[in-house]
């Protein structure tokens, strides 16, 4: 296994090589209406599917030529990342470097989240190299990655190769790019705070869209005997489900219900109610979401939660599933409270609305229909395609 010192020497080598490239750089003719996506993750990942692949399909319908490149494949991500973190980073860097070099033939480049995954190197030379080739490259992100990585943070480790870990890498990258696609007004404001050299028209707000209008909506019976609450997401966010466990345990003393969790690693907790865990799969996502009667999205009062894209709500509501969510940033934009679903203030108890749902006081079919109508009108690819393409043409 390479040491961190060797790895950073490896980074420095590619930085020097990038400088040499511009000394011998040949003029390359860019293909018209050609787009290259730098996907942070591999195919079959939810982010890849909804924010890259589906948009690539929409753009191809409009006559664009679209290619997608990834840093690693699925097996390398799950096996190599776990077994040899340094080797994973080195492989990711090597592929990304040549992908950046080969991006010269494309008219438009869109970077999802960050060029180097799990690598907060200090020089950001790869971003600088890309922006030399494509000054108007677009950075697309759907979460406050800086908050998720606890940036800015104090860095103590330095290396003799003149590179060091960057304590504020993501925010610094926001100052390099000139154009952005984000999911919310909150993230738009974040970009404008970090980058004083751009204008509002340089930032496009596009939610993470779904095509659930092509699927039948949830059909509720006149009376639900055993309500199924539900949650979908990555296992790194299971701590958010824990927010509701005490409330659900208390409710279980009066009502019969279950909690469906659709995720990665199995969700296990000691509870007074039944938990049904379903492994997430893109192929079975819609089928399993239909098993949920009430979708849940609890959040905390912190920067990570404020920077989220509300995709759980878009998924639930797009299938006509009644939802309950913490009233924070984008959730308040997605939900018309008490009409298309329900919001709970961060300082308020979830108990009252959950009791109403369990008592059958709410017309689930009516609210679910309003939820679906909201998503179809504002959060589908068809609803956002025109402004997405218009932004790319600028």
User: Does 221 lie in the same domain as 190?
Assistant: no
Is the pLDDT confidence value at 17 over 70? no
Residues 192 and 229 in one domain: no
Q: How many domains does the chain have?
A: 2
Identify the pLDDT of residue 168. Answer: 87
Do both 54 and 75 map to the same domain? Answer: yes
Buried residues in 94-111 as b, exposed as e (16+ CB within 10 A): eebbebbeebbebbbbbb
For residue range 324-369, list pLDDT tens digits in order: 999 999 999 999 999 999 999 998 999 999 999 999 999 999 999 9
Same domain, 370 and 274: yes
Same structural domain for residues 35 and 133? yes
DSSP string, 153-203: -----B-TTS-BB-TTHHHHHHTT-SEEEESSHHHHHHHHHH-TT--GGGE
pLDDT score, position 161: 38
Backbone angles phi, psi at 101, to 5 degrees: -60, -45
If asked whether residues 89 and 236 sit together in one domain, one would say no
pLDDT tens per residue across span 51-101: 999 999 999 999 999 999 999 999 999 998 888 888 888 899 889 999 998
pLDDT at 24 over 50: no
Bond prior to 160 in cis (omega within 30° of 0): no
User: For 225-271, how does the pLDDT look when each residue is reduced to its tens digit (9 = 90+)?
Assistant: 899 999 999 999 999 999 999 999 999 999 999 999 999 999 999 99
- 327 in Cβ contact with 343 (< 8 Å): yes
Is residue 218 located within the same domain as residue 172? no
In this structure, are 188 and 239 located in the same domain?
Answer: no
pTM of the predicted protein model:
0.91
pLDDT of residue 22 exceeding 80: no
Do 35 and 64 touch, CB atoms closer than 8 A? yes
Mean pLDDT, all residues of the chain: 91
Range with top average pLDDT, 125-134, 146-155, 327-336: 327-336
We report the CATH number of the domain holding residue 65 as 3.40.50.2000
Question: Tell me, what's the pLDDT at 125?
Answer: 86
- Residue ranges making up the domain that contains 168: 4-208+381-393
162 pLDDT above the threshold of 90? no
Residues 385 and 270 in one domain: no
């Amino acid at each position: 296994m390479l040491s961190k010192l060797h790895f950073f020497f490896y980074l420095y080598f590619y930085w020097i090589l990038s400088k040499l490239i511009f000394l011998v750089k040949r003029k390359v003719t860019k293909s018209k209406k050609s787009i290259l996506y730098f996907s942070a993750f591999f195919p079959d990942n939810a982010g890849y599917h909804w924010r890259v692949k589906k948009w690539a399909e929409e753009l191809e319908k409009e006559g664009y030529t679209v290619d997608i490149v990834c840093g690693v494949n699925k097996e390398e991500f799950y096996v190599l990342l776990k077994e040899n973190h340094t080797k994973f980073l080195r492989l990711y860097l090597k592929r990304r470097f040549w992908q950046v070099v080969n991006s010269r033939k494309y008219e438009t480049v869109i970077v999802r989240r960050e060029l180097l995954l799990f690598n907060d190197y200090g020089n950001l030379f790869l971003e600088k190299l890309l922006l030399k080739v494509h000054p108007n490259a677009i950075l697309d992100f759907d979460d406050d990655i800086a908050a998720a990585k606890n940036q800015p943070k104090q860095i103590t480790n330095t290396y003799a190769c003149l590179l060091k870990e960057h304590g504020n890498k993501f925010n610094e990258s926001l100052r390099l790019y000139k154009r952005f696609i984000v999911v919310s007004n909150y993230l738009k404001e974040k970009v404008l705070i970090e980058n004083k050299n751009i204008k509002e028209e340089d930032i496009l707000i596009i939610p993470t869209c779904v095509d659930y209008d092509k699927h039948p909506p949830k059909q509720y019976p006149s009376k639900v005997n055993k309500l199924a609450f539900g949650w979908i997401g990555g296992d790194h966010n299971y701590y958010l489900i824990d927010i509701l466990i005490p409330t659900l345990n208390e409710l279980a003393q009066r009502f019969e219900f279950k909690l469906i969790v659709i995720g990665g690693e199995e969700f296990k907790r000691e509870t007074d109610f039944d938990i049904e865990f379903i492994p997430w799969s893109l192929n079975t996502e819609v089928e399993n979401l239909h098993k949920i009667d009430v979708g849940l999205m609890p959040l905390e009062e912190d920067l990570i939660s404020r920077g989220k894209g509300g995709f759980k709500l878009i998924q639930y509501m797009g299938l006509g599933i009644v939802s309950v969510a913490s009233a924070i940033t984008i959730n308040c934009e997605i939900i018309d409270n008490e009409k298309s679903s329900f919001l709970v203030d961060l300082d308020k108890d979830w108990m009252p609305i959950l009791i109403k749902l369990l008592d059958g006081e709410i017309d689930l079919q009516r609210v679910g229909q309003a939820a679906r109508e909201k998503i179809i009108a504002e959060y589908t690819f068809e609803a956002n395609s025109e402004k997405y393409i218009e932004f790319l043409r600028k």
